[in-house]
Amino acid sequence: MSSLSYPTPLYAHAGRGRFEDVYEPAEDSFLFIDALERDADELQGLSPSVCLEVGSGSGVVSAFLASVVGSSALYLCTDVNSLAASCTATTATCNNVALQPVITDLVGRSGIEAAWAGGRRGREVIDRFLPMVTQLLSNQGLFYLVTIVENCPEEIIRLLGEGGLTAVPCLSRRAHNERLSVLRFHRTPPSRALAS
């Protein structure tokens, strides 16, 4: 765990005014940020060149990651909501980081070294994204996923395990009636994959 603490990015514009229809950072966003902060040293050591957030909403999570990892990486932030893309651009400006919002479904066509996705609305989006993760994640890459119990995280772990990824539970927290968890995946080393 990093000894440094990083400030929560400014996001007062999200969820109001012209960004009223953009997801306002909530417990899932903050749990995700807390997980990234805990992994700060490792993420800095990884020094990714491309980071991708699928469903960036306000952009607060990517803005936080950019403040931890630094300006050497390209931060792609996709969202189907064009207002989320504008909001992400505003969040980048407010926090003096460079984020590249992309209006697209899931990932469009990009190669990634670190990726993360949030899911609060069942498995519809997650299930479409999972097969892409095993194809896109680089050998050293990390994939973070926010889940609730209803997403059946054990099944997601099994599915990605079949695709050669190992899961590490990062953080869990109860928020209202939901149990939120952040899972982190990395490629299973070849020797372990053969043994299992």
Ligand X SMILES: C[S@@+](CC[C@H](N)C(=O)[O-])C[C@H]1O[C@@H](n2cnc3c(N)ncnc32)[C@H](O)[C@@H]1O
> Which residues sit at the interface with ligand X, rule CB under 6 A?
23, 25, 28-29, 32, 54-58, 60-61, 78-81, 84, 105-106, 118, 120, 125
The Cα 151–Cα 67 span in angstroms is: 30
Which residue is closest to ligand X by CB?
55
Closer to ligand X by CB, 4 or 80: give it: 80
The residues with which 115 forms a beta bridge, in sequence order, are 52, 143
Closer to ligand X by CB, 61 or 69: give it: 61
Residue with tokens 């807390």: 34
Closer to ligand X by CB, 139 or 177: give it: 177
Q: How far is the CB of 3 from ligand X (least distance, A)?
A: 25
Q: How far is the CB of 194 from ligand X (least distance, A)?
A: 35
Q: How far is the CB of 9 from ligand X (least distance, A)?
A: 11
Tokens linked to 61: 């999570």
137-148: strand order across its sheet: 100-103, 74-79, 50-54, 112-118, 137-148, 178-187, 165-175
Closer to ligand X by CB, 151 or 188: give it: 151
Short-list 56, 54, 57, 50, CA closest to 23: 57
